Amino acid sequence: MLNKLVEKFRHDNNEDEYEFEYSEYSYDGKNIGFIGAGNMATAIVKGLLKAGQPKDSIFVYDCNVRQLKHMAEMGVQIVYTGEELVEKCDIIVLAVKPQNYDEVLAEIKSAATEDKVFVTIAAGISIDYVRKGLGINCPMVRVMPNTPLLLGKGATALCRSDNISDENFKIVYDMFANSGKAVVLPEEQMNAVIAVNGSSPAYVYLFAKAMTDYAASVGIDSETALKLVAQTFIGSAEMLLSSGDDPDTLINKVCSKGGTTIEAVNVLNENNVPKIIMDAMAACTKRAEELGK
């Protein structure tokens, strides 16, 4: 049976913030299906198998035979239509690109019922979008994971529909929490959070590339530089999480007056790098809103 759901309510600025505590994943007899067998679906399936979900309770469908073959090698159940997958499963994860949602929803509509839980993990695809496509008021979870989920280091945001049970929501929550960190947000924040966690690994990689390119330009071996840069990111992230200091305080602790770091930070500020990052994130959110229309 599922471990008991733990839900805490905090009132901050007159808004409710919901926190769920992750407890060890526990199989409860439900079949979980994935429409789409790409990297994200593969990461979630691997996490489920590692957590103890039986292989015969996981079903996968994809029109790409090569990807299906890879899933079959993991021992999970393969089906050959989306409709068949929905019929066999209690929880269905729609792991396809936003541009393919209309086609997929039309294919599975005849098999969808209101006792099945649907999970959308595509940027911009809302709970209402899926319900309209299926023509039913099904219980749902909208999820925004990121690619570090592949390594069990994901950062995932989730929101729930008002008609999903705590037990079913906890199953979906734990699917992602057992492969990293997960937080629960209201749906009106789900497009904006894409810029915060879903797309943001690309910003980190871009910054890392610039740093390693500079190192190479001054004769430092690229591989050596990348190790130093990556470990710096790891250590800096831990400082953000564990030091008790906010980002401004941590910046100031590295920047000595008249020293080297302040010179670099001054150049970044003079070139409006913080504003550029915020503008980029706003563009990401805008695109998410366009995809969901």
What are the pLDDT digits (tens) for 38-47? 999 999 999 8
119 in helix, strand or coil?
strand
Quote the tokens at residue 162.
């008002």
**pTM for the full predicted model:** 0.86
- pLDDT of 104-113, one tens digit each? 999 999 999 9
Q: Inform me whether the pLDDT recorded for 83 exceeds 90.
A: yes
2: nearest Cα among 166, 123, 125, 112: 166
Task: Assign domain 7-186 to a CATH class.
Answer: alpha beta
pLDDT of res. 10: 31
Helix spans in 155-259 (H): 166-177, 190-193, 200-217, 222-242, 247-254
In the chain, what is the straight-line distance between the N-terminal and C-terminal CA atoms, in Å? Answer: 39
Which of 1.20.120.550, 1.10.3730.10, 3.40.50.1820, 3.20.20.70 is the CATH number of 200-291?
Answer: 1.10.3730.10
8 Å CB contact between 177 and 158: no
Say yes or no to pLDDT of 21 above 80.
no
Which segment of 19-23, 115-119, 184-188, 264-268 scores lowest on mean pLDDT? 19-23
Task: Delimit the domains of the chain by residue range.
Answer: 7-186, 200-291
Q: Which residues pair with residue 7 across a beta bridge? A: 20
Contact 92, 35 (CB under 8 A): yes
**Residue-level pLDDT at 292:** 80
Write the DSSP assignment of 160-181 as a string of letters. Answer: E-TTS-HHHHHHHHHHHHTTEE
